[in-house]
Structure 1
Amino acid sequence: MRQSSTRLGRANLDRLPAGIWRPAYDRSRVTSGIVHLGLGAFHRAHQAVVIDDCLAAGSTSWGIVGASLRSPDTRDALASQDHLYTVAIRSAEGTEHRVIGALLDSVVARENPAQLVGQMADPATRIVSLTVTEKGYCHTPQTGDLDERHPDIVHDLNDPDTPRSAPGFLVAALARRRAQGLSPFTVLCCDNLAANGHTVQRIVTQFAAVRSKDLGKWIADVVAFPSTMVDRIVPETTDDDRDAVSSALGMRDAWPVMTEPFTQWVVEDRFTAGRPDFASAGVELVSDVKPFELMKLRLLNASHSALAYLGYLSGYETIADTMQDAHFARLAAQVMEEAAVTLTMPVGTDLAAYRTSLLKRFANPALHHRTWQIAMDGSQKLPQRLLGAMQDRLRKDLPIATHALAVAGWMRYVTATDEQGRAIDVRDPLAAEFAALAREAGPVAERLAPALLAVAKVFGPFGAEPRLREAVTTALGRLYKDGARRAVEAHVTA
């Protein structure tokens, strides 16, 4: 189908077809109050949609300035369409399209770090939110502490006025506000870190204290770091997706985002300098996010990772494809069931209903969420998603074979060679270290499993736990002997 040459933009919003949702407010009256670090698809399908609802409800001083820490691609795609873009909400029943207007501008941090620090230090900025992925915090996932040897942290400590890292930008802007006698902004982490607000507070405070003990103390004493739980499945956008959205709009959108109908945001109600009317947009404001955070990490994210590693090894391209295999659907359910006993939820929480909804969401045939995409950065994800639940189950003297199979799937995946001998494009900060360990150990579970379990940045002291070593080594041996698909079938039918 031939695509229109007209580009989405504010001048032609009134030319959109009647069925397309569009900003329900005067965008020219909106001012920025939020700087967001990590202008990726997830933010644009989740937090920006919530802010769009808040703007429509009258909170017009909370527009977003987005920042890409490295790549200019998103800025380049959106700048020429006035930072408008489409969220395509896909289900088995069809697709709804909504144009979002909450993003007012964007910058690329690497091109002009001083500009971004200035935007964050501006008194109008009252919240700095982040979706920079787990690895973007330059920390050690096992401990939650700042990795002072990380190259970006080394750079930022030596050159604090032109930072590269998320902690570096946060501290540079907070230091400037302190020097100017301004109140600090709230730091709102929206990444899948356990106790994400507390974890980011620790990382940022540690970084600041290396620069200046007084600055570190000031940040610890006066800056709010509320914890959050975010939930929405957002696959990467393909060229076919762009064409489909542009066809529906009758004009070109260079970078729409794809997502599912479900969305959830739970936020600890603790802000330094005010916040939008989140409740008007369906955000759950609570005093303690931790139970919801662990629920999501250990039920949704853990089973997602299990499906991603073992599904990829079995030749499945997407999560929905993987879920068509009844044995993998049962595996996902088992991961959730076995993690559920490690959770303590508020009265009234229906974990069984939540697990059922997750299985339905995973099987959504309209979402093409690639197993390879979910498999990225496993070294940063395993501690929060799988290892914590395994530790809790061992404390209760419960078996860990299901989670061990998922960890073994990760181990088999990071060898960078699949079951047919083809190369796997492993995207992970420690990919080179894993590949070297795999080459040295060879395809022998009794050598490879202990070698990977000894990587302290992933497993910490838990890697030496004899019951963990036995369970993971046994599971990895099955993967090498039988292949992932047969190993999953054998496990869930045992």
Structure 2
Amino acid sequence: MKLSNATLPELPAEVARPTYDRAALTPGIVHIGCGNFHRAHQAVYLDDLFNLGEGHDWAILGAGVREGDAKMRAALLAQDGLSSVIELDPGAKSARVIGAMTGFVEVAGGNAPLIAAMADPGVRIVSLTVTEGGYYIDPKTGTFSPSHPDIQADAAHPETPDTAFGAIIAALKTRRTAGIAPFAVMCCDNVPHNGHVTRDAVCGLAALSDPELSAWIRDNVAFPNSMVDRITPATGPRERALTESFGIEDAAPVTCEPFRQWVMEDDFPAGRPALEKVGVTFTDAVDRFETMKIRILNGGHAIIAYAAGLRDIEYVHEAMADSRIRAFLDKIETDEILPILPPVPDTDLTAYKAKILERFSNPEVADTIRRLCFDGSNRQPKFILPSILDRIAAGGSCAGLLLESALWCRYCYGVSETGSTIAPNDPNWDRLVAQATLAKDRPAAWLEMSDIYGDLAANPEIVAQFTRTLDEIWARGSQAVIADYLAG
């Protein structure tokens, strides 16, 4: 059954669907970047709230600034903004159709339609999922980089911006001129201190063309920090077939694990939906939850990714079924990561780690190792390096984390341990392959990528340990070196 408002009543009985009147919804949120994660996470929470009969003035108006967003717009508008979400519980899969989106802004160069939509007084929140690498962060400093060509182009033409941040600035300027209160800007990307990062990107870009506006935004616009979590695989033939097995024809289906979590600062001067009624945690300790998740879950993904990728293991649950890889993950998490984490309100870190291992082992999700290996040049500085630095500062061993780094280096050589070619899997793949080739003979070359490792190459003990580890991987293979680590 092709998704549409008209066909909702005709869907199979086991498919959950909106119980509210979608025609009565009005948009209060413009969301930029309506990919799988957004539709499996934020949109699901709002759908739950609407099903309670509440918050119907907080519907989502979809938006985007890239070519792919235009394709998503066409797909979703053709089915009245509806999306199917299949939850992949190992015991019993379930399907639902969510209806929290009421429209999708035209995607156009210069972003005039998006700016107009965000300038509407009814919009009180602008949210984003523009990927972890979409915030123009200088990897050497960890702060906003004004030199990026996209940023320079928007600074030169602030009235016709091409980035999401440029469009947000233009909309805020329009609202200020019209005497309309600013919206809150809510980042939903998996970025450390994501509210602060988003504020720095918006204010940093604005400062290049209008310093006074930049100062006004910093003083008057809320950028709440948040932590988001739900494993959401990319959509491929398997996911489409699964959706069809529930009798649903969806041009953009989403599958996801049953688990989801959303933790936010309660900083919304223009109001917000009552998401605490559907499981969202509002707290001043978002940074604690965020550090826990990034170090244990995202760091955990990296730990298993390259150990499995070097052996051509395809799926995450297959890697977790390998006793050595699972033990490798568990030992690093237990011995090197948990001891340096600050306490998290109402959370047992050991139990959280156990839940992560359980989630990674879910065979129904069929998350791929290649997805976990992707974009290491952006993810390693966020998910692995902070734990290494904290271990060094605490005077503890970081042998497992350095082994993970060496496995990433070996993976970036571009050939697996079975002799298979590893297809490019990073925006900076050519550079990484070249550096990994140098590191085969001189391992310190890998740590000399200061935009990724900072000053780590200046630490002789770390360089010596990394050198021994990478040399051993090349001499005896990753599995033998992992076995040595497990044996102590």
Q: Same fold (TM over 0.5)?
A: yes
**From 80, 83, 91, the counterpart of 2:89:** 91
- Alignment-derived partner of residue 172 in structure 1: 170
- Residue type matched to 2:337 in 1? A
Please point out which of 101, 106, 113 is paired with 2:111.
113
Aligned residue number for residue 492 of structure 1: 486
Q: SS where residue 397 of structure 2 aligns? A: coil
Matched, 1:269 2:237: no
Q: Which residue of 2 aligns with 1:312?
A: 309
Q: Does 1:400 align with 2:398?
A: yes
Q: Give the match for residue 476 of structure 1.
A: 470
User: 2:198: which partner in 1?
Assistant: 200
Aligned with 1:104: secondary structure?
strand
Alignment of 1:36-75 (within 5 A): 36-57=31-52, 58-70=54-66, 71=68, 72-75=70-73
- Given candidates 154, 157, 174, the residue that maps to 2:155 is 157
Deviations 1:4-34 (A, max 9, x none): xx41111010011111110121100001111
Aligned to 2:2: 7
* Contact 2:410–2:436 (8 Å) recurs in 1: no
- Distance in 2, matches of 1:202 and 1:112, equals 22
2:28 corresponding residue in structure 1: 33
Query: Using a 3 Å threshold, how does the CA distance of structure 1 residues 458 and 165 change in structure 2: closer, same or farther?
Result: farther
Shift of 1:433: 2.3
Mapped partners of 1:167, 1:470: distance in 2? 43
User: 1:317 offset after TM fit, Å?
Assistant: 0.7
1:414 equivalenced with 2:412 (yes/no):
yes
Distance in 1 (alpha carbons) for counterparts of 2:436 and 2:396: 30
**Matched residue, 2:428:** 430
Q: Structure 1 residues 139-148 or 195-204, which shifts more?
A: 139-148
Residues 26 and 57 in structure 2, CA contact (< 8 A), matched pair in contact too: yes
- List alignment gaps of at least 5 residues for structure 2: none
Shift in alpha-carbon separation, 1:260–1:271, aligned structure 2, 3 A: same
Check 1:442–1:459 CA distance in 2 against 1; reply closer, same or farther (3 A cut).
closer
Distance 1:352 1:29 in 2: 45
* Equivalent position to 1:364, from 362, 365, 369: 362
- Give 1:142 shift: 4.5
Distance 1:87 1:315, change over 3 A: same
Instruction: For 1:464 and 1:164, locate their aligned partners in 2 and report how far apart those are by CA, in whole Å.
Output: 40
Distance of aligned partners of 1:282 and 1:115 in 2 relative to their CA distance in 1, 3 Å threshold:
same
Amino acid at match of 2:304: L
Q: Is the 8 A contact 1:135 1:380 kept in 2?
A: yes
Deviates more, 1:366-375 or 1:72-81: 72-81
Equivalent-residue separation in structure 2 for 1:76 and 1:425 (angstroms): 30
Counterpart Cα distance in 2 of 1:472 and 1:121: 52
The residue type paired with residue 206 of structure 2 is: A
Counterpart selection for 1:145 from 143, 146, 164: 143
Q: Match for 1:458 among 449, 452, 457?
A: 452
Answer whether contact 1:109 1:164 (CA < 8 A) is retained.
no
Aligned mates of 2:425, 2:206 — CA distance in 1: 30
Q: Summarize deviations over 1:202-246 as a string: whole Å, max 9, x none.
A: 222121111211111111111111111111111111122212212
Normalised TM-score (structure 2) = 0.95
Contact 2:106 2:113 in 1 (8 A): no
- Counterpart in 2 of 1:219? 217
Native 8 Å contact 1:170 1:204 kept in 2? yes
In the other structure, the counterpart of 1:3 is: none
Secondary structure, counterpart of 2:3 in structure 1: coil
Q: Which residue in the other structure is 2:232 paired with? A: 234
Question: Which of the residues 351, 357, 362 maps onto 2:349?
Answer: 351
Q: Does 1:298 align with 2:292?
A: no
Could you tell me the percent identity over the aligned residues?
39
Task: Please identify, of 160-169 and 126-135, the stretch whose mean Cα deviation from structure 2 is larger.
Answer: 160-169
SS at match of 2:88: strand
The number of equivalent residue pairs is 484
Change (3 A) 1:386 1:209: same
Deviates more, 1:362-371 or 1:461-470: 461-470
* Residues 344, 90 of structure 1: alpha-carbon distance in 2 compared, 3 angstrom cutoff: same
Q: Deviations over 1:306-350 (max 9, x none)?
A: 111221112111110100001111111123212111111145421
Gaps of 5+ in 1: 1-5
Residue 110 of structure 1, CA deviation? 5.0
| 118 and 277 in structure 1: CA distance in 2 versus 1, 3 angstrom threshold | same
Distance (Å, rounded) in 2 between the aligned partners of 1:364 and 1:409: 24
| CA distance in structure 2 between the aligned counterparts of 1:259 and 1:333, rounded to whole angstroms | 24
Matched-pair contact (CA < 8 Å) for 1:314–1:485: no
Residue 15 of structure 2 aligns to a residue whose secondary structure is coil
Instruction: Tell me: CA distance 1:320–1:160, structure 2 relative to 1, closer, same or farther (3 Å).
Output: same
